[in-house]
Structure 1
Amino acid sequence: MANSSFEKRIFTTVLWAILPCYFLAIFLLWYIDTSFYLQALVTIFLSAIVGFSFHHFYYDIKDQFISLANLVEALNIGDFSLRGKAEEGQSGHSDLIRQVNKLADSLTTARYDFKESQLLLAKVIKQIKVAIITCDQQGKITMVNPETELLLGLNESKLRHKTLTDVNLGQLSKLSSNSIEKLTFGSRTARWHIFKDGFRDQGKQHSLYIFSDLDLLLSQQEQEAWKNLVRVLSHEINNSLAPIISLASTLDKLTARSDIDLEDKEDIQSGLKIIQDRATSLKHFLAGYRVLTHLPKPKRQSVDIIPVIEQLVSLLNYPVKLTLPEQVIIMVDVAQFEQCLINLLKNADEASGKNSEIDLLIKVKANQVLLYILDNGPGIQNLDNVFVPLFTTKTQGTGIGLSLCKQIIEGHQGQLHLANRVEGGCQVEIILPK
């Protein structure tokens, strides 16, 4: 009895409740003195009613439990669209159906909330400007965000199932969370803030790594500080230069009409001319730095940069050797990109000297374009200050060319690096997203 099904136990209980009454009625029917045919007919009729009632009761109970089982099974496999029909009024069976329907509604709402949260998280991970990597228990990469793809130069499909050692990040497992380390992440060597944590996915332990580029952050803050400084200095100095130029011009005119001795007059006018010329030159010098503080946001569009580079090199007429693929289409502001190349090629030509060839080559990766400019000059003595505004090693330099180039490239979500070559000369590396 204990091992029989629930439906059979209910059926047996009802059977034991009805059968005594049935047998009592049959006994009384046959006990009284009446016709045999009537007794037999009534007995058959009662037996048929009892048998039909038992049959209907058993299969009705069974169908109800099958319906409930189907509802619960649908919930178990994630199909929350099925609903049970509950009878009006209060009963245990109707309440059970209503609760199952409410459970299905709650699970449907939870599924939509979960999907919306996943979509929001995916958007945040896609747009956030930090590198994110997750690994399984074996140390194999399971997920990366677009920023990581950009840094490593590989798509997520190619990074999946690779280990951290395969991408030269094997030392991460030995580092502690919230540490600052100098690492080579793909093609970028910088100081990184590393956050490590663990999480479980489908019952398995995973590792989470988040990398923040501190050098890039400091560079952006430094550029903003220089912009503010140049903006304030330009404003204050221009306010002083304007009246100096005006007064020098006025005094020069007054001196020309005065009765001063000719030799003294020439000396005074010569001095005023020097004051006016130097003030005007200083004003033009400061105007060059205004470019750093008023550089507009790039108007990026899909462009094949190969003909742009070829046309620019032919116009500049520098001795440049081009090693370019047939086509490279990226999103750039053509005017700003040309201005950047003009400054870099001019620097390379001045550093190399006359009749010394400059190499310009492009390499294309999965989601990156790498542009190199190589010269044969003496190299750079102070690499730490090359992007600092006002710093220059040239006698006629202004110290804004490389700062402007860096600002243009970073405005395109790219990177600009300078390094001295082992064989001599300087290497400029521009990394742009494809």
Structure 2
Amino acid sequence: MANGSFEKRIFTTVLWAILPCYSLAIFLLWSIEVSFYLQALVTIFLSAIVGFSCHHFYYDIKDQFISLANLVEALNVGDFSLRGKAEKGQSGHSDLIRQVNKLADSLTTARYDFKESQLLLAKVIKQIKVAIIACDEQGKITMVNPETELLLGLNESKLRHKTLTDVNLGQLTELTSNSIKKLTLGSRTARWHIFKDGFREQAQQHTLYIFSDLDLLLSQQEQEAWKNLVRVLSHEINNSLAPIISLASTLDKLTARSEIELDDKEDIQSGLKIIRDRATSLKHFLAGYRVLTHLPQAKLQSVDIIPVIEQLVSLLNYPVKLSIPAQVILRVDIAQLEQCLINLLKNAHEASGTNNEIDLLIKDRANQVVIYILDKGPGIQNLDNVFVPLFTTKAQGTGIGLSLCKQIIEGHQGQLNLSNRAEGGCQVEINLPR
């Protein structure tokens, strides 16, 4: 009996409790002198009642345990919709059913909370502007966020089949957390702050890498500092230039009406004209820098940039060789993008000379578009300062062209890079997200 099922053990216990009474009743029935047929009829009737009761008792208990087993099995497989029906009143069985139902309610609430947390985490990972990569014990990529897809130029479905070594990041396994290292992550070479930590998923150890672009952060802070400096200088200098221009004009009129010898009068008026012209020229010069501090937010709209580039090249009439696809749809502020391309093509034309051809190429990738502008000039002598406002190598330059271009591209969540080519000349690389 000890090795039988729980239901059978209960049934056997109940049966041993009934059998003595049943046997005693049958013995007394057959001990008295009554009709044989009455004795047989009563015996059959008692036996039927006992047998039916035992059968009903056994299968009722079995059904209850089967129902409980189904409830627990549903919870085990993640189906929290089933509920048991508990009888009114207090009993061990009813309490057990109620507790199982409460457990199902708690698991349902926990599941919804977990899903909401997952959705929130997914939104944060999707919108955060840092690259995130998760790898398993073999170094195979198991998860990336959209920022990483943009940098590497591949969708997550394709990256899942690759290892860190396949994307030139094999050295990450040797780094410690909170490291700062200069490396190439897809299309961007920069100094990265790398956070590294482990986690477990489905009983397997994984490693999480988070990349923060320190160069981009420093560049944004530098741009903001330059904007503030230009804003203050423009305000202070303009406040000084306005009265100088006004006083020069007033003195010029007073000199014209005064009784001064002609030669002296001409000298004074000539000097005042120089002061007025130089002050006016300086005022116009400062007005150009206001563009850096008052660039409006990009108004993005989906456009085909190919006709725009072709029309722009035709209007500029520079010797430009185009290697571009038939169609490229991007969400851009077309006016700002045109201004950026005009500045970059003008720089390439001035660097290359009149007769040297400029190459403009477009590579259309899964989640980004890369525009290359290649010239045949002498290259850039000081690459570290090309995006610094006021810095220029041109005799008549103002030092705002490249700074403005960088600000425009970063306003489109893209990246602008300049580098010298091995064969000579400069390469401009514009990465724009889809």
Q: Normalising by structure 1, what TM-score? A: 0.99
1:131 counterpart letter in structure 2: A
String of CA shifts for 1:5-64, please: whole Å, max 9, x gaps: 000000000001111111111112222333332222222211111111111111111111
Deviation per CA, 1:370-410, whole angstroms, max 9, x where unpaired? 11111111111111100000000111000000000000011
Misfit runs of 4+, over 6 Å: none
**What is the identity, as a one-letter code, of the residue corresponding to 1:218?**
L
The corresponding residue for 1:104 is: 104
1:265: how far off?
A: 1.1
Question: 1:272-320 CA distances to partner (integer Å, 9 max, x unpaired)?
Answer: 1111111111111110000000001111111111110010011011111
The 5 Å alignment of 1:26-425 reads 26-425=26-425
Superposition deviation, residue 427 in structure 1: 1.0
CA distance in 1, matches of 2:38, 2:323: 114
Please state how far the C-alpha of 1:349 moved relative to its aligned partner.
1.0
Distance in 2, Cα, partners of 1:187 & 1:69: 57
The aligned amino acid for 2:53 is: S
Distance 2:35 2:328 in 1: 109
TM-score normalised by length of structure 2:
0.99
How far residue 369 of structure 1 moved from its aligned partner, in angstroms, is: 1.1
1:20 is matched with which residue?
20
Query: Hey, what's the Cα distance between the residues in 2 that align with 1:222 and 1:304?
Result: 33
Structure 1 residues not aligned, in runs of 5+: none
* Percent of aligned pairs sharing the same letter: 89
C-alpha separation in 1, matches of 2:39 and 2:47: 12
Aligned partner letter, 1:140 = K
Moved more, 105-114 or 35-44: 35-44
1:430 is aligned with what amino acid? I
Please give the alpha-carbon distance, in whole angstroms, between the structure 2 residues aligned to 1:284 and 1:25.
123
Matched residue count: 434
Amino acid at match of 1:332: V
- Secondary structure, aligned partner of 1:98: helix
- Secondary structure at the aligned position of 2:50 is classed as helix
- Deviation track 1:199-250 (CA, whole Å, cap 9, x = no partner) reads 1000011111110000000000100000011011111111111111111111
Moved more, 288-297 or 347-356: 347-356
C-alpha separation between the residues in 2 aligned to 1:114 and 1:360? Answer: 50
- More displaced, 163-172 or 263-272? 263-272
- Flag structure 2 segments of 5+ consecutive residues without an equivalent: none
Q: Which moved more, 1:253-262 or 1:89-98?
A: 253-262
- Paired amino acid for 1:379: G
- CA-based RMSD of the aligned residues comes to 0.9
Once residues 30 and 378 of structure 1 are traced to their aligned partners in structure 2, the CA distance between those partners, rounded to angstroms, is: 126
Counterpart in the other structure of 1:5:
5
Q: What is the CA deviation profile of residues 95-134 of structure 1, one whole-angstrom value per residue up to 9, with x for unaligned ones?
A: 1111111111111111111111111010000000000001
Equivalents in 1 of 2:197, 2:322: separation in Å?
A: 47
Aligned partners of 1:138, 1:417: CA distance in 2, in Å?
A: 34
Cα distance between partner residues in 2 of 1:326 and 1:224: 38
Alpha-carbon separation, structure 2, partners of 1:57 and 1:120: 52
Secondary structure in 2 aligned to 1:429? strand
In 1: Cα distance, 2:127 partner to 2:160 partner: 20
Which secondary structure does the structure 1 equivalent of 2:295 belong to?
coil
1:52-88 CA-partner distances (Å, limit 9, x unpaired): 1111111111111111111111111111111111111
User: What is the distance in 2 between the residues matched to 1:96 and 1:167?
Assistant: 56
Offset, 1:425: 1.3
In 1, the alpha carbon distance for the partners of 2:62 and 2:425 equals: 88
Task: Indicate the larger mover: 253-262 or 137-146.
Answer: 253-262
Code of the aligned partner of 2:323: T
Code of the aligned partner of 1:219: S
**Deviation at 1:259?**
1.1
Larger mean Cα displacement after TM superposition, 171-180 or 418-427: 418-427
SS at match of 1:122: helix
> Match for 2:304: what amino acid?
D
